[in-house]
Chain A
Amino acid sequence: MDINSGDTPSSVIEITNLHRSFGGIQALKGISLTVPPGQVFGLVGENGAGKTTMIKHILGLLKVQSGIVRVFGRDPVVDPVGVLSRIGYLSEQSDLPGWMSITELLRYTQAWYPTWDRTHADELLHKFKLDPAQKCNTLSQGQRAKTGLALALAQRPDLLILDEPSSGLDPLVRRDILEAILRGEADKGRTVLFSSHLLDEIESVSDKVAMMHQGEIVLCRSLAEIKQSHYRLSIRLAKALIGKPDIPGAFLIEGSGKDWTAVIDGEPGRAQAYLEHINGQIQRADRLSLDEVFIARVGRRIRGI
């Protein structure tokens, strides 16, 4: 695909071999990612995995050191106006200007976006129970998040980026934010990039998920594929083994002697064929939740397994 070709590329975000280091620390190690239009794309990773650094590249807030970043087919650093006018952004660190009232904030933000929907903005304020005359520096953390979300949604963006929007928020505010995303999904053509380390949130709204760990993408697939292809197998062998069994598709194997547990990526049938060969059998095969997949994928790396 020619990512420089025009305004309607086949992917909204196209990142190719992106590297970024701060001093001696490598924050991103050759990330490649494609976000197709009209999807909710979940980005998960532990704190410091590089999610925010990647998002800053997408917004053009960091210049690429090595690699290519294109948003709507454009370089966000070279053409910030063209890219940012189509993006709604809500971050974990809501740095709304404290001296503005909510109405002033909406009035100021409205000027930048030709697609601004004033009626929708009023609806959101009403729904979130926000007082338009209230100054931003008197808002609670939850109210600030809701205000930020109202700003991002009222501009009817083609791409909505949510960078850990619900960190530290109570369940009611988190529910409001998730509902807004689910409703936004119905809007034709809208793409959402939703970064979080709260996997239940990602699981409830995402079509596709990328897992990040220490600056790398360790898994990037549709949510349905991830959930269908990951199993935890409880295995019983006829004879005790000294080393680990070499189960095909397994990326986490724990246990000792005759009893083993394996987490596999693929159909259990292949593992069954191998186990029959070494006189073993699968006693139980459970599908994994996204949370468990993440722990199995990332936890093993953290523990150095």
Chain B
Amino acid sequence: MAILRALLPRLTAKQFLIIGGVLAVLGGGAIVSAAVLIFIGARGGTLRPAPEQPIAFDHVRHAGELGIPCEFCHRGVEKQAAATIPSVEQCMFCHTVVGRDNPEVELLVAYWEQNEAIDWVRVHRVPDHVRFVHEAHILAGLDCSTCHGQVATMTVVKQVENLNMGMCMGCHREKGASLDCATCHR
């Protein structure tokens, strides 16, 4: 006890009250801030403007005009959690021949020739505590556009749905899917 007493600063009752008051105000502020952030998040605070990508990939051209199915490039969508971004090699399957006069394709070829990965900017993202598995949703018959919107009409892809818990729960209720916490949270 003597050691503990020696370690603690000697405070008067008034000083103790002042410090206690300041800490209470700061703690309360943090709680309020957290509540605001959670509320914003629940309202769909993840919605952002379309980010700028290292290559201006045009979904209208690929998915719209050419009618390439989503899963042709996002090959993981039917068999794993992540839909996956296609490898540079996969782009080059076609662009070794087609579109070589397009400056954006030139950028792609440069990545390929320098053996470099492309740093795409993520458009859709759920928090780390959520495990979203594309495979299960696609196999249940959901269309990609349910969550991602009409990507085939977007020159630059942006997030159009909140992808918040309310949206997930609403859909799960409607379709009779599991509402167990552990289905999505782990």
- A and B bind: no
